[in-house]
Amino acid sequence: MLTFKSNKSCVSDEQFSNIWPEVLKAHGELENQTGKGSEFTGWLKIPHAIVSNELEGIHEAASRIKKQSKVLLVIGIGGSYLGSLAALDALQNNYSQFRTVTNEGVEVLFAGHTLSSAYHQKLYSYLENKDFSINVISKSGTTTEPAIAFRLFKSLLEKKYSEEEVKTRIYATTDGHKGALKQLSLHKGYTTFTIPDDIGGRFSVLTAVGLLPLAAGGIDIDSLLKGAADGAELYASPTQDNPCYRYAAYRNSLYRSGKAIEILVNYEPSLNPTSEWWKQLYGESEGKDGLGIFPTSMSFSTDLHSLGQYVQDGVRHLFETVLTIKADKTPLTLFSQADDLDQLNYLEGMTLEQVNAEANRGTQLAHMDGGVPILEIELAEMTPYTYGLMLYFFMKACGISGYMLGVNPFDQPGVEAYKKNMFALLGKEGYESLRKELLARL
């Protein structure tokens, strides 16, 4: 269902053989919990672990949300929303220009990931006349962005519904024991779900963090988990035919040969949020200690008429990883017309997906001729099962790849720097001396 492709012009057999021992070492560190940050590798087992824990509660909550609401507002930032947004858009073919709601679930909207005033006000107006529920997702409950959004939209719930009803409309996904949101939830009686202590945000899509919004949105999360569980088995063995380990090996080999930028390419714009999820996963895991491939993304053929020129012919410091979906879920057959001024009649009888597939093949050849190494990850079809498999593929490859790079792929120390400065500039208690220091610099 998932195939990893590459060609020898990217990475030679010799380069691959040279780097393979490092894959084995990384495999050992990850499996034996001896690598850096091993206390955050709970995601390795999650497709199995989640079943016995919270899955039933998630299904029940999703049913309740579908009965009581038209919209689920998910409040979270970073790993607390990117995974569910990515999977929803990929599996329901949502596009930034216009979104549709399926019969199987509620509309899922997101807040808590931006400080934009206009965004909050537009969303507030939109929700004023709609029945909605909130899933607030935060380990601590004190992260500024989601905490502000939660205050605002909780106040809207309180305006619309009785105190008793409000508490049935709020679902908190948070720490199992401590923290502001856990405390509040216990006090108010919200339904809660747990963010496990051994799983960081960007690896949490297969926990309640991702699963509750997805289930409410109408995604078959059991199939998603089955795909991920099968991925855990498929990508377990330290053998050279393991596509997940090959991907980790190839990208590290390319990085060492001077390829500083990896472009995740799709030919289907509803995969754009999947690229955003992937960018957090790799950028936050590897971008530290002055190291790491810079992860970015493009959607072709759209961006072939934008950054395509650069990819074809600019600085040769980049490579592509193309995410291809093979099967045609929604065929649309092209037709001829009486006049052929636009010269398209030769496409008569082909489906649009076939044209898109040839654009993909033609572009790969053109970019290879331009000196761009190309890796390809092909999914046989886009279903919850294959999507779950792909999520596990990318997470496992990321763990291996980060260890090969020599960093701790499971921490994110650099995220604290802006927060501290922001607290100081806003005048938060405890940051007085930093405040003085920063104001002197401004």
Question: Per CB under 8 A, which of residues 109..128 are in contact with a copy of itself?
Answer: 109-110, 113-123, 126
Cα dihedral 125, 126, 129, 132 sign: negative
Give how far Cα 231 sits from Cα of 151, 223, 273, 385, 397, Å: 39, 12, 21, 10, 11
Question: Of 284, 286, 320, 353, which one is the catalytic site residue?
Answer: 284
Tokens of 225: 């988990």
Q: What DSSP state is assigned to residue 4? A: E
In whole angstroms, how close is the CB of 105 to a copy of itself at the nearest point?
16
Which position among 32, 34, 52, 100 is part of the footprint of a copy of itself (CB under 8 A)? 100
Which position among 12, 17, 63, 96 is part of the footprint of a copy of itself (CB under 8 A)? 96
**Applying CB under 8 A, which part among 19-27, 62-70, 94-102, 161-169 lies near a copy of itself?**
94-102
# residues contacting a copy of itself (CB under 8 A): 130
Active site annotation includes 284: yes
Residues 374-413 that bind a copy of itself (CB under 8 A): 412-413
Which position among 157, 284, 383, 393 is part of the footprint of a copy of itself (CB under 8 A)? 284
- Among 265, 281, 284, which residue's Cα sits nearest to residue 205? 281
Q: According to the binding rule CB under 8 A, does residue 290 interact with a copy of itself?
A: yes
Q: According to the binding rule CB under 8 A, does residue 436 interact with a copy of itself?
A: no
What CA–CA distance (Å, rounded) separates 368 from 371?
A: 5
Nearer CB in complex with a copy of itself: 60/358: 358
Give how far Cα 415 sits from Cα of 74, 143, 196, 418, Å: 22, 12, 20, 7
In whole angstroms, how close is the CB of 397 to a copy of itself at the nearest point?
17
Active site annotation includes 268: no
Q: Residue 106: CB partners within 8 Å, gap ≥ 6?
A: 65, 66, 69, 70, 71, 72, 216, 217, 218
Q: According to the binding rule CB under 8 A, does residue 429 interact with a copy of itself?
A: yes
Q: According to the binding rule CB under 8 A, does residue 168 interact with a copy of itself?
A: no
What CA–CA distance (Å, rounded) separates 64 from 168?
A: 9
Going by their DSSP bridges, the two strands 261-266 and 294-299 should be labelled as: parallel
Nearer CB in complex with a copy of itself: 17/344: 344
Q: According to the binding rule CB under 8 A, does residue 129 interact with a copy of itself?
A: no
